[in-house]
Protein backbone atom coordinates (compact mmCIF):
# COMPACT_ATOMS: atom_id res chain seq x y z
CA UNK A 1 0.00 0.00 0.00
CA UNK A 2 1.31 3.44 -0.94
CA UNK A 3 2.52 5.55 1.95
CA UNK A 4 0.24 8.42 3.01
CA UNK A 5 2.09 11.73 2.82
CA UNK A 6 1.26 14.98 4.56
CA UNK A 7 2.37 17.83 2.29
CA UNK A 8 2.56 21.61 2.72
CA UNK A 9 3.86 24.22 0.26
CA UNK A 10 4.60 27.54 1.96
CA UNK A 11 5.58 30.89 0.41
CA UNK A 12 7.80 33.72 1.62
CA UNK A 13 6.26 36.69 -0.22
CA UNK A 14 9.32 38.93 0.13
CA UNK A 15 11.66 36.63 -1.81
CA UNK A 16 9.07 34.44 -3.58
CA UNK A 17 10.72 31.41 -1.97
CA UNK A 18 8.86 28.13 -1.52
CA UNK A 19 9.39 26.02 1.59
CA UNK A 20 8.13 22.45 1.64
CA UNK A 21 7.14 20.27 4.57
CA UNK A 22 6.69 16.56 3.80
CA UNK A 23 5.74 14.11 6.52
CA UNK A 24 4.62 10.54 7.03
CA UNK A 25 0.96 10.97 7.96
CA UNK A 26 1.02 8.00 10.33
CA UNK A 27 4.20 8.58 12.31
CA UNK A 28 4.36 12.38 11.79
CA UNK A 29 8.09 12.25 11.03
CA UNK A 30 8.91 15.10 8.67
CA UNK A 31 11.45 16.75 6.40
CA UNK A 32 11.55 20.46 5.61
CA UNK A 33 13.07 21.68 2.35
CA UNK A 34 14.44 25.22 1.90
CA UNK A 35 13.14 26.93 5.07
CA UNK A 36 13.49 30.73 5.24
CA UNK A 37 14.94 32.39 8.36
CA UNK A 38 12.39 35.20 8.47
CA UNK A 39 9.54 32.68 8.30
CA UNK A 40 10.71 30.61 11.29
CA UNK A 41 7.78 31.72 13.46
CA UNK A 42 5.29 30.54 10.84
CA UNK A 43 7.06 27.25 10.25
CA UNK A 44 7.56 26.47 13.93
CA UNK A 45 3.88 27.16 14.63
CA UNK A 46 2.68 24.90 11.81
CA UNK A 47 5.06 22.08 12.73
CA UNK A 48 3.84 22.15 16.32
CA UNK A 49 0.16 22.42 15.32
CA UNK A 50 0.55 19.32 13.14
CA UNK A 51 2.47 17.48 15.89
CA UNK A 52 5.38 16.86 13.52
CA UNK A 53 8.89 15.77 14.44
CA UNK A 54 11.39 17.06 11.91
CA UNK A 55 14.03 14.49 11.05
CA UNK A 56 15.87 16.40 8.30
CA UNK A 57 16.40 20.00 7.27
CA UNK A 58 17.36 20.00 3.59
CA UNK A 59 18.50 22.97 1.52
CA UNK A 60 18.79 22.60 -2.23
CA UNK A 61 21.79 24.97 -2.41
CA UNK A 62 23.54 27.90 -0.76
CA UNK A 63 20.93 30.58 -1.39
CA UNK A 64 21.86 34.10 -2.49
CA UNK A 65 18.49 35.81 -2.03
CA UNK A 66 17.51 34.72 1.48
CA UNK A 67 18.95 33.17 4.62
CA UNK A 68 18.07 29.57 5.35
CA UNK A 69 16.00 28.85 8.44
CA UNK A 70 17.54 25.42 9.00
CA UNK A 71 19.69 26.26 12.04
CA UNK A 72 17.05 28.49 13.60
CA UNK A 73 14.33 25.85 13.35
CA UNK A 74 16.63 23.08 14.54
CA UNK A 75 17.46 25.13 17.64
CA UNK A 76 13.82 26.01 18.32
CA UNK A 77 12.46 22.52 17.78
CA UNK A 78 15.33 20.63 19.37
CA UNK A 79 15.22 17.88 16.76
CA UNK A 80 16.50 17.05 13.29
CA UNK A 81 19.72 17.06 11.32
CA UNK A 82 20.89 19.57 8.71
CA UNK A 83 22.10 17.87 5.54
CA UNK A 84 23.60 19.60 2.48
CA UNK A 85 25.06 18.37 -0.81
CA UNK A 86 28.61 17.05 -0.54
CA UNK A 87 29.93 19.57 -3.09
CA UNK A 88 29.27 22.41 -0.62
CA UNK A 89 32.84 22.47 0.67
CA UNK A 90 33.60 25.12 3.26
CA UNK A 91 30.11 25.06 4.72
CA UNK A 92 29.69 24.64 8.48
CA UNK A 93 27.05 23.88 11.12
CA UNK A 94 25.54 21.10 9.05
CA UNK A 95 25.37 17.59 10.46
CA UNK A 96 26.18 15.56 7.35
CA UNK A 97 26.83 15.80 3.61
CA UNK A 98 24.61 14.18 1.00
CA UNK A 99 25.96 12.10 -1.87
CA UNK A 100 24.44 11.86 -5.31
CA UNK A 101 22.02 8.93 -5.41
CA UNK A 102 21.76 8.68 -1.63
CA UNK A 103 18.39 7.68 -0.19
CA UNK A 104 17.10 9.29 3.01
CA UNK A 105 14.12 7.80 4.80
CA UNK A 106 11.41 9.46 6.83
CA UNK A 107 9.66 6.33 8.06
CA UNK A 108 8.20 4.94 4.81
CA UNK A 109 9.01 8.02 2.70
CA UNK A 110 12.12 7.65 0.55
CA UNK A 111 13.98 10.79 -0.52
CA UNK A 112 16.44 10.34 -3.39
CA UNK A 113 19.21 12.90 -3.73
CA UNK A 114 20.14 14.09 -7.23
CA UNK A 115 23.20 16.22 -7.82
CA UNK A 116 21.89 18.96 -10.13
CA UNK A 117 24.50 21.70 -10.43
CA UNK A 118 23.79 24.57 -12.80
CA UNK A 119 22.26 27.45 -10.88
CA UNK A 120 25.26 27.11 -8.58
CA UNK A 121 28.06 24.58 -8.59
CA UNK A 122 26.61 22.79 -5.58
CA UNK A 123 22.86 22.24 -6.11
CA UNK A 124 20.85 19.13 -5.32
CA UNK A 125 17.26 18.13 -6.07
CA UNK A 126 15.11 15.74 -4.06
CA UNK A 127 12.82 13.07 -5.52
CA UNK A 128 9.96 11.84 -3.32
CA UNK A 129 7.49 9.42 -4.91
CA UNK A 130 6.07 11.27 -7.95
CA UNK A 131 7.45 14.66 -6.89
CA UNK A 132 10.79 16.37 -7.50
CA UNK A 133 11.94 19.43 -5.57
CA UNK A 134 14.27 21.24 -7.92
CA UNK A 135 15.39 24.31 -5.99
CA UNK A 136 16.62 26.90 -8.50
CA UNK A 137 17.53 24.44 -11.26
CA UNK A 138 14.23 24.57 -13.14
CA UNK A 139 11.17 26.70 -12.42
CA UNK A 140 7.67 26.62 -13.84
CA UNK A 141 8.37 27.84 -17.39
CA UNK A 142 11.79 29.12 -16.39
CA UNK A 143 15.06 28.38 -14.60
CA UNK A 144 17.46 29.78 -12.07
CA UNK A 145 20.26 32.09 -13.16
CA UNK A 146 23.79 30.84 -13.82
CA UNK A 147 25.94 33.97 -13.66
CA UNK A 148 27.54 33.61 -10.20
CA UNK A 149 28.34 31.05 -7.44
CA UNK A 150 30.04 28.77 -9.99
CA UNK A 151 26.86 28.60 -12.03
CA UNK A 152 27.10 26.84 -15.39
CA UNK A 153 24.85 26.90 -18.45
CA UNK A 154 26.29 23.57 -19.56
CA UNK A 155 25.65 21.86 -16.22
CA UNK A 156 22.14 23.27 -15.96
CA UNK A 157 21.21 22.15 -19.47
CA UNK A 158 22.72 18.70 -18.95
CA UNK A 159 21.18 18.13 -15.51
CA UNK A 160 17.71 19.20 -16.59
CA UNK A 161 17.86 16.95 -19.66
CA UNK A 162 19.56 13.95 -18.06
CA UNK A 163 18.33 14.05 -14.46
CA UNK A 164 14.95 15.81 -14.47
CA UNK A 165 13.56 15.17 -17.95
CA UNK A 166 14.35 11.45 -17.62
CA UNK A 167 11.82 11.21 -14.78
CA UNK A 168 8.27 10.14 -15.77
CA UNK A 169 6.32 12.89 -17.54
CA UNK A 170 3.73 12.86 -14.75
CA UNK A 171 6.34 13.72 -12.10
CA UNK A 172 5.35 16.95 -10.36
CA UNK A 173 8.00 19.68 -10.31
CA UNK A 174 8.05 21.83 -7.18
CA UNK A 175 10.48 24.75 -7.66
CA UNK A 176 12.41 26.82 -5.16
CA UNK A 177 10.80 30.06 -6.35
CA UNK A 178 8.03 31.40 -8.49
CA UNK A 179 7.48 35.00 -9.54
CA UNK A 180 4.29 34.57 -11.57
CA UNK A 181 1.82 32.87 -9.25
CA UNK A 182 2.58 29.28 -10.26
CA UNK A 183 2.86 26.57 -7.64
CA UNK A 184 4.02 23.50 -9.56
CA UNK A 185 4.35 21.91 -12.97
CA UNK A 186 5.15 18.49 -14.40
CA UNK A 187 8.12 17.09 -16.26
CA UNK A 188 5.94 16.61 -19.34
CA UNK A 189 4.76 20.23 -19.31
CA UNK A 190 8.26 21.66 -18.98
CA UNK A 191 9.55 19.49 -21.82
CA UNK A 192 6.96 21.12 -24.05
CA UNK A 193 6.58 24.66 -22.77
CA UNK A 194 9.63 25.81 -20.80
CA UNK A 195 10.92 28.66 -23.01
CA UNK A 196 14.52 28.12 -21.92
CA UNK A 197 14.82 24.37 -21.46
CA UNK A 198 12.09 22.69 -23.54
CA UNK A 199 13.16 19.70 -25.59
CA UNK A 200 12.76 21.64 -28.85
CA UNK A 201 15.65 23.90 -27.81
CA UNK A 202 19.25 22.88 -28.33
CA UNK A 203 22.11 23.96 -26.07
CA UNK A 204 22.97 26.96 -28.25
CA UNK A 205 19.41 28.24 -27.92
CA UNK A 206 19.58 27.90 -24.16
CA UNK A 207 22.99 29.56 -23.87
CA UNK A 208 21.87 32.53 -25.96
CA UNK A 209 18.83 33.04 -23.73
CA UNK A 210 20.87 32.84 -20.53
CA UNK A 211 23.59 35.20 -21.75
CA UNK A 212 21.01 37.87 -22.52
CA UNK A 213 19.07 37.83 -19.23
CA UNK A 214 21.06 40.73 -17.72
CA UNK A 215 19.59 40.26 -14.24
CA UNK A 216 20.50 42.47 -11.25
CA UNK A 217 22.18 40.71 -8.35
CA UNK A 218 19.87 39.65 -5.50
CA UNK A 219 19.23 42.41 -2.96
CA UNK A 220 20.20 40.21 0.00
CA UNK A 221 23.31 38.72 -1.60
CA UNK A 222 25.90 40.19 0.77
CA UNK A 223 24.04 39.03 3.88
CA UNK A 224 22.73 35.72 2.55
CA UNK A 225 25.87 34.03 1.23
CA UNK A 226 28.05 34.22 4.38
CA UNK A 227 25.07 33.32 6.60
CA UNK A 228 24.17 30.33 4.45
CA UNK A 229 27.74 29.06 4.52
CA UNK A 230 26.96 28.54 8.22
CA UNK A 231 23.50 27.05 7.51
CA UNK A 232 21.98 30.25 8.93
CA UNK A 233 23.58 29.63 12.33
CA UNK A 234 23.07 32.55 14.74
CA UNK A 235 22.31 35.06 12.01
CA UNK A 236 19.65 36.91 13.98
Domain membership flag for residue 235: no
DSSP 184-224: -EEHHHHHHH-TTT-TT--HHHHHHHHHT--PPPPTTHHHH
pLDDT per position as a tens digit, 60-89: 988 888 889 999 999 999 999 988 877 666
Q: How many domains does the chain have?
A: 1
Domain membership flag for residue 88: yes
Domain membership flag for residue 117: yes
Domain membership flag for residue 236: no
pLDDT per position as a tens digit, 34-57: 999 999 999 999 999 999 999 999
Per-residue tens of pLDDT for the chain, all 236 residues? 356 899 999 999 999 999 999 999 999 999 999 999 999 999 999 999 999 999 999 999 888 888 899 999 999 999 999 888 776 667 778 778 889 999 999 999 999 999 999 999 889 999 999 999 999 999 999 999 999 888 999 999 999 999 999 999 999 999 999 999 999 999 999 999 999 999 999 999 999 999 999 888 888 877 887 877 777 787 65
Q: For the whole model, what pTM was predicted?
A: 0.94
Domain membership flag for residue 36: yes
Domain membership flag for residue 147: yes
The residue segments making up the domain with residue 100 are 5-228
* CB distance 81 to 96 below 8 Å: yes
CATH value at residue 31: 3.60.15.10
Domain membership flag for residue 166: yes
Domain membership flag for residue 234: no
Amino acid sequence: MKNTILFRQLLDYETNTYTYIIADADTLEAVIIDPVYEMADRDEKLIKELWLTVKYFLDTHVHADHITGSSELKERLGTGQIWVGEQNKGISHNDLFLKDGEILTVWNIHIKVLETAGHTGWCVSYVIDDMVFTGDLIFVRGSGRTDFQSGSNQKMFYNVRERIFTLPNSTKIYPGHDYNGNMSSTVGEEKLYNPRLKEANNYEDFETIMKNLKLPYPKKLEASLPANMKCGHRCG
